[in-house]
Structure 1
Amino acid sequence: MGHREITGSLAERNGRYTAILNLYDEDGKRRQKSIALGIPVKGNKRKAQARLEELKREYSTSSCSPAKSRQESPLFADFLHDWLKTTAPTIERTTYQSYQGLIDARLDSFFRERRLRLQDLEAKHIRELHQSIFKDGCNANTVIHYHAVVRKALQYAVKNGLVTENVADRVDRPKKGKYLAEFNSKEELAALFEATKDDSISVVIQLAAYYGLRRSEVLGIRWSAIDFEQGTLPINHKVTEGKADGKHQLYTEDKLKTKSIFRTLPLIPAVRVLLEEQRARQEEYRKLFKKSYCADYLDYVCTDEMGKLFRPNYITDHFKLLLEQHGLRHIRFHDLRHSCASLLLSQGIPMKQIQEWLGHSTFATTADIYSHLDFNSKLESADAISAAFAKEQRDAGMNLSL
């Protein structure tokens, strides 16, 4: 069957024009393609019509016929990997690893099994992706993470002229679920400190709980940064873990995600004692193991008996094991950060100060996570409304007496 002429029309969606193209394959089978023009409807019909004609010409050229276009367009699964390699230098290492994990875990197999090519991707395919994730028992937040990767990849494709529309923008994301953080009470933290006091990661646990530090932050604390005379503890370095050439590797760097993460905290008296004890232990181990002692991390506080820096994943796994061994309630290591925040709130510390203590980039982040724990502010509101009604009642009583 000969090549059929491409036809098209304009449609209005949310106050803007969308081009609807009728494309035909070698067998004459029609398929429609919607392309959001981004042109406001009011007063722009001629402009939109001109853009529609341009699109028809683009799709009508022999080099861009639908059949050939589909053959040349890469499989979307392959495109995801290529996009990630291209964008790697522009994103954080941890972000890259997160994207890589999501692609490997589900996106590659989902799109590869369907043999979907980049130019054939439609909104319905992304909706099917969402449904498959929900079907596997995952929550809305998981769907949002996968959706974000697909959308970012398609943004790159649009920017580089590989497709004309980001179809992910035509798919509604599910509403983000409210995250209720787990945390230990001060009694539970005291029990945890006592139970783990002789373990090699005791210093890691206590530093994380006292300061609400992220795992990467507590492992990044260095002796040279601590000012014992001024009593300050800077948070300006991090330790992360990733794969390079198939092998696990530690990364130590001063580059933190946002400026707010760089912060200097006061040296709490109990932490000063903790650090002095840790330094004495390190010196003892260094004398004991001599040449076998690792000299690569002498400036780091959180090292094991052989002087090696703890791996972040080891901290997570070993912390879980410690809780099981001592019969303590299960929480994640990151929940020590939430425990710190809950204790600060219980002591009446304002949310803004907690934001600065934890190093959140925005106040909204802190409020979103911990507002349900801020009972003190609710008590103030209760007192205020109670006082207001009491005043109304007193005034009403005085009017009646008159």
Structure 2
Amino acid sequence: MKYREITGSLIERNGKYTAVLNLYDVSGKRRQKSIALGIPVKGNTRRALAQLEELKREYAGAAGLLRNGKRESPLFADFLKDWLKITAPTIERSTYQGYESMIGARLEPFFRERKLRLYDVEPKHIRELHQSIFDDGCNANTVIHYHAVVRKALQYAVKNELITENVADKVDRPKKGKYLAAFYSKEELAALFEATRNDSMSVVIQLAAYYGLRRSEVLGIRWSAIDFDRGTISINHKVTDGKENGEYRIFTEDKLKTKSSFRTLPLIPAVRELLREQREKQERYQALFKKSYCQEYLDYVCVDEMGKLFRPNYVTDHFKLLLQQNGLRPIRFHDLRHSCASLLLSQGIAMKQIQDWLGHSTFATTADIYSHLDFNSKQESADAIAAAFMPEEMAEEEQTQDFGMTMSM
């Protein structure tokens, strides 16, 4: 049968344009989809119409519409790219970049080589994808991530009645591997601080270690979020990087990973002194470089000598280089976060308190990552089981000794 072309129109909602698309399933039944364009109505009609036409093309591509108005299932490799464009407004930028990388690096080549159309994809192809990832030396967690992207794309196709079932649901995912976080001891952290104290990134490293901050969080610390009088530091901003319209750029925003990531923590004395030194450095560099000093990031703590924000990827690469140059055990920059948690546990801090310190959204996340390091709770269990098997005579003797010690105190 003939399939109807996707049509659409513009409507006004709260002073901004919304696109309304008319989508048709295989039986010809119409289903409308509204997409807020975020474009002000006044003076932007031509721009909104152009965006409407682009949406119609994208949805037509995902649905496999041909120029003669008949529908043919698209190549799955093409469908993945079209699905990603349509999904982009509904997901985080970092999530989009991750999906884009996975599709470009592996999924598109895998399915394009096999010339599979959307309705041709079967469970066996998903299993072959899994095996190809394992064959490249990747672990089960990597397979799970790729499986999730394929499943999401297929679920979109099911929801829009392009296919009748999600074949990815018929394929078992491999069991997720247990991640054991690497971490530095307090002696190793002290050596790291000493080795890097004259490096421009010293403040980044120490703040990440003291507070267990994510890379984006530590780069997002601003002077306006530090209250020296009250002795607090607020984690409420982040710095990330990525491509936008084909160009690399840095993004600064008041949007963290989860609601729990927003937190206000006490200003540790050593950090207070670190920040005082950092502010003095910045004032000195501003006076030295004058007009050449970057004025865009004056409120940010973690900047280089010219006042420019450290790029997230630079932090990762330079940290690795610093460890090599100073003969320190290799760990990732993110492992400074794990090192902080390990030290807190070794000092007897409860897991719930560590969850709040690190800004995890759930207690389960904290426990899943760090339970194997919680020696204190295990020692209590060991003492309890030892006491349970202790002969009665020895137990009575210990109780007598404990009583005597209590009386003498």
Give the shorter-chain TM-score range.
0.7 to 0.9
CA apart distance, 1:211: 0.3
Q: Distance between the aligned counterparts of 1:88 and 1:255, measured in 2?
A: 17
CA apart distance, 1:390: 2.5
Q: Distance between the aligned counterparts of 1:393 and 1:214, measured in 2?
A: 53
CA apart distance, 1:251: 0.3
The one-letter amino acid paired with 1:251 is F
The one-letter amino acid paired with 2:136 is D
- Residue correspondence of structure 1 range 124-139 to structure 2 within 5 A: 124-139=124-139
The one-letter amino acid paired with 1:237 is H
CA apart distance, 1:74: 0.7
Q: Distance between the aligned counterparts of 2:267 and 2:117, measured in 1?
A: 57
Q: Distance between the aligned counterparts of 2:215 and 2:226, measured in 1?
A: 18
- Residue correspondence of structure 1 range 243-254 to structure 2 within 5 A: 243-254=243-254
Determine if the alignment matches structure 1 residue 76 to structure 2 residue 76: yes
Q: Describe the SS at the equivalent of 1:243.
A: strand
Determine if the alignment matches structure 1 residue 361 to structure 2 residue 352: no
The one-letter amino acid paired with 2:379 is L
1:395 to 1:366, Cα distance in 2 relative to 1, 3 A: closer
CA apart distance, 1:170: 0.4
The one-letter amino acid paired with 2:214 is R
Q: Distance between the aligned counterparts of 2:391 and 2:282, measured in 1?
A: 64
Q: Tell me which residue corresponds to 1:33.
A: none
CA apart distance, 1:214: 0.2
CA apart distance, 1:392: 6.0
Q: Describe the SS at the equivalent of 1:361.
A: coil
1:321 to 1:72, Cα distance in 2 relative to 1, 3 A: same
Q: Describe the SS at the equivalent of 2:125.
A: helix
Q: Tell me which residue corresponds to 2:295.
A: 295
CA apart distance, 1:393: 6.9
CA apart distance, 1:394: 6.6
The one-letter amino acid paired with 1:389 is F
Q: Distance between the aligned counterparts of 2:369 and 2:378, measured in 1?
A: 16
CA apart distance, 1:260: 0.6
Deviations 1:194-226 (A, max 9, x none): 000000000000000000000000000000111
Q: Distance between the aligned counterparts of 2:210 and 2:107, measured in 1?
A: 39
Q: Distance between the aligned counterparts of 2:335 and 2:91, measured in 1?
A: 26
Deviations 1:148-183 (A, max 9, x none): 000011111111111110110000000000111111
CA apart distance, 1:385: 1.3
Aligned residue pairs, count: 331
Determine if the alignment matches structure 1 residue 276 to structure 2 residue 276: yes
Determine if the alignment matches structure 1 residue 118 to structure 2 residue 118: yes
Q: Describe the SS at the equivalent of 1:72.
A: coil
Root mean square deviation, CA, Å: 2.0
Deviations 1:306-325 (A, max 9, x none): 00000000000000011111
Determine if contact 2:219/2:310 at 8 Å carries over to the other structure: yes
CA apart distance, 1:246: 2.5
Deviations 1:66-93 (A, max 9, x none): xxxx971011111111111111111111
Q: Distance between the aligned counterparts of 2:277 and 2:391, measured in 1?
A: 58
Deviations 1:98-125 (A, max 9, x none): 1111111100000000001111111110
Q: Distance between the aligned counterparts of 1:220 and 1:273, measured in 2?
A: 19
Q: Tell me which residue corresponds to 2:85.
A: 85
Q: Tell me which residue corresponds to 1:156.
A: 156
Q: Distance between the aligned counterparts of 2:132 and 2:237, measured in 1?
A: 40
Q: Tell me which residue corresponds to 1:237.
A: 237
Q: Distance between the aligned counterparts of 1:91 and 1:78, measured in 2?
A: 20
Q: Tell me which residue corresponds to 2:105.
A: 105
Q: Distance between the aligned counterparts of 1:338 and 1:149, measured in 2?
A: 28
1:108 to 1:392, Cα distance in 2 relative to 1, 3 A: farther
CA apart distance, 1:258: 1.1
What are the ranges of 5 or more consecutive residues in structure 1 without an aligned counterpart? 1-63, 65-69, 398-402
